[in-house]
Amino acid sequence: MKQSKYASLIESFANIAVGLGIALLVNVVMLNWYGFQISTGQNVAMGAVMTAMSLARSFVLRRVFEALHIRRPLSPFMQAVVAERYRQVEQECWSHQHDDAHAPGDLAKAGASYALYADMHLSDRAGVRKAALIKPREWPWDRDWWRPSGFRRDLVKAGALIIAEGEKFDRQRKRPDAPTVQPAVRPRSPIITDAQTINRAHPASLVTSKPASEQGGSSA
C-alpha cells in the first residue's frame, strides 16, 4: 500500500528515536572502552547531530523510493477494499473464528451478490429502493444482512468479503486436521434388464408381454 508523507515522517521519527537511544548507549560503552572520556552533554550533542542527519536522510530516501514506485502502489479502490476488510474485523468484530463458522463459500456468495447487483444503483431511484428490499437468491444469509448502499460501496464490500473467503480457505487448508475434499463422483446409470423396469423408466414406450394365446395369428 502506498505510504503517505505523514506516515513516512512518523516512521522516520520512530526509527531515529530508537537509533538515538542505541547510539547514546554505544557511545558511552565504546568511547570509554578505548579511553575517550566525554561528558553526558557532549554525548547527547553528538547524538543529536547524527540523529538530525539520519532523520533527513531517511525521510528523503523514503520519498525517493515512493516516487520511483519501488513499492508497488495500490489504487484508491484497492486501498478502499483493504480498509473495508480491516473495518469488518476491527469495528464489526467479525474475527477469524466468526468467519470460520460460516459454511464454505458463504462469504464468497455474499461478495458475489453485492458485485452482481451493484449496477442497480445506476438506474432510477425508485427502482433502487424497490430492488434494495429484495434479498437476492444468491445471498446466503437473512434479509436483514442484505444492505446495498451504492455502486462503488457495494463493489468495495464485495471485494472485502471475497478476501475474507480466501483468507478462511488458506487458514483451513494449513490445519493438520483439515478434512480432505474429495471430488464428487457421479453415480453410474443402472443397467435395465427386464421389461417392467423399462416401463417405469420410459412410460412413453411401454414394453408388454402377452401370452401366446392372446397374440394374433397361429402357428401351424
- Which comes out higher in pLDDT, residue 161 or 203? 161
- Which comes out higher in pLDDT, residue 145 or 19? 145
Q: Which residues contact 207 (CB under 8 A, 6 or more apart)?
A: 195, 198, 199
**pLDDT, the chain, mean:** 76
Q: Is the pLDDT of residue 84 over 50?
A: yes
- Is residue 94 classed exposed, middle or buried when 0-12, 13-18 and 19+ CB atoms within 10 A define those classes? middle
User: Quick one: pLDDT at residue 219?
Assistant: 37
- Cα separation, 157 vs 132, in Å, equals 15
Amino acid of residue 93: C
User: Quick one: pLDDT at residue 218?
Assistant: 38
Joined together, the cell numbers standing for residue 17 give 528515536
Joined together, the cell numbers standing for residue 81 give 477494499
Amino acid of residue 106: D
User: Quick one: pLDDT at residue 123?
Assistant: 75
User: Quick one: pLDDT at residue 177?
Assistant: 66
pTM over cut 0.85: no
pLDDT tens profile 111-162:
999 999 998 888 766 666 666 778 899 999 999 999 999 999 999 999 999 9
Question: Quick check: 171 and 96 in contact, CB under 8 A?
Answer: yes
- In this structure, the number of other CB atoms found within 10 A of the CB of residue 161 comes to 26
User: What CA dihedral angle connects 182, 183, 184 and 186, to 10 degrees?
Assistant: -130
* Length of the chain measured in residues: 220
User: Quick one: pLDDT at residue 82?
Assistant: 95
- Spell out the domain ranges in the chain: 5-67, 76-173
Amino acid of residue 76: P
